[in-house]
Structure 1
Amino acid sequence: MSNKLQDKTVAILATDGVEQVELIEPRKAVEEAGATVRLLSIKEGEIQGMNHDKPGDKLKVDGLVADASVEEYDALILPGGVQNPDTLRMDEKAVAFVRDFARSGKPIGVICHGPWVMIEADVVRGRRMTSWPSVRTDLRNAGAEVVDEEVVTDKGLVSSRKPDDLPAFCRKIVEEFAEGRHPPRA
């Protein structure tokens, strides 16, 4: 276990329908690097993880995003799955949290369909990103420069396409989260 992220607190924002591996593997990577991780959601209790189109495990929620403050966290992870970000982007508190986080300049890791929440928060304009193929048109329409690469980093924003990219994604979020805040974008 490294201590690259010792004294850092990382938020993971997710709800029912989260692609389980896209939550579990990044959480494990940042915890192994010494971070404290809190799973935030739009509901209390547990959320339903998914293994593609089949139910996975129930995952214990640590707090509500409505009660969270960006100042409490050093970094944010936005996992994918289809239902998860589609539901989150309809929740004003979740969208506001992501918007405020992106504007703070603190690092964010986002994978697969996760960028939908960032698109709704209007924080992808001018950013270089990747995502699941069906999300790329939405990213372009929202002003992002979209590329098809395993992992893309743009001033603290780390994005990846799919579960197969998790090893590279996890390495890169640990690196970026250790580096910390970047100057906020306009």
Structure 2
Amino acid sequence: MPTIEGKRVAFLATDGVEQVELDQPWQAVSEAGGRPELVSLEAGEIQAFNHLDKGDRKQVDTTVDQANPEAYDALVLPGGVANGDFVRADERAVKFVKDFVLSGKPVAVICHGGWVLAEADVVRGRTMTSWPSLKTDLRNAGATWVDKEVVTDQGLVSSRNPGDLDAFCAKAVEEIAEGVHA
């Protein structure tokens, strides 16, 4: 596994985040030497879920108002239906994501996290995957949607669901190690 020693990785999530889609990439980033930080819409804690059941509460490191995309080396957008919908409805979060994508830094997104990229209008001309119900939303936003475990397009790593997490995490760490894409 490549090393990402000292790289700061923003994980943008809020209440309703799918816990395994936050925890497993977080662990992969940590084990590769990266510094994951939970960025959210509000300070305090967020409520993670295991599908429809409440999971753990997670401590927020900083709010999206305080977070500067320039301070991070990569961005991870975990899924969860409520999480994806809440984040895409927040103008501050959408701006943060758009600025991040436009910087060319690696972005890793899984499941319903793709909604945020569609809302930020940054998927036009990109190939990606997601939870199948986002297929039309992503196509309408200009993406080419494919049903694959993991898709990488110029530093954008996308994946479908928790069953794809091993491949998703490995590819995300690899892209973070590579750094900025043109």
Q: Which residue of 1 aligns with 2:57?
A: 58
1:13–1:77 contact (8 Å) kept in structure 2: yes
Q: Which residue of 1 aligns with 2:170?
A: 171
Between the aligned partners of 2:82 and 2:11, the Cα distance in structure 1 is 16
Q: Which residue of 1 aligns with 2:101?
A: 102
1:3–1:34 contact (8 Å) kept in structure 2: no
Between the aligned partners of 1:137 and 1:93, the Cα distance in structure 2 is 24
Deviations 1:9-63 (A, max 9, x none): 0000000000000000000001100001110000111000000010000011000
Q: Which residue of 1 aligns with 2:157?
A: 158
Between the aligned partners of 1:102 and 1:58, the Cα distance in structure 2 is 28
Between the aligned partners of 2:150 and 2:77, the Cα distance in structure 1 is 14
Task: List, as ranges, runs of 4+ consecutive aligned residues in structure 1 with deviation greater than 6 Å.
Answer: none
Aligned partner of 1:78: which letter? L
SS in 2 for 1:4: coil
1:5–1:35 contact (8 Å) kept in structure 2: yes
Q: Where does structure 2 lack aligned partners over 5 or more consecutive residues?
A: none
| Displacement of 1:85 | 1.1
Aligned partner of 1:44: which letter? A
Between the aligned partners of 1:149 and 1:179, the Cα distance in structure 2 is 22
Between the aligned partners of 1:88 and 1:114, the Cα distance in structure 2 is 9
Q: TM-score, normalised by structure 1?
A: 0.96
| Displacement of 1:3 | 6.7
Q: Which residue of 2 aligns with 1:140?
A: 139
Between the aligned partners of 2:140 and 2:78, the Cα distance in structure 1 is 21
2:6–2:35 contact (8 Å) kept in structure 1: yes
Deviations 1:113-152 (A, max 9, x none): 0010010000000000000000011000100000000000
2:2–2:174 contact (8 Å) kept in structure 1: no
Number of aligned residues: 182
In the TM superposition, 1:108-147 aligns within 5 A as 108-147=107-146
Q: TM-score, normalised by structure 2?
A: 0.99
Q: Which residue of 2 aligns with 1:45?
A: 44
Q: CA RMSD of the aligned region, Å?
A: 0.8
SS in 1 for 2:112: coil
SS in 2 for 1:182: coil
1:143 and 1:59, CA in 2 relative to 1: closer, same or farther beyond 3 A?
Answer: same
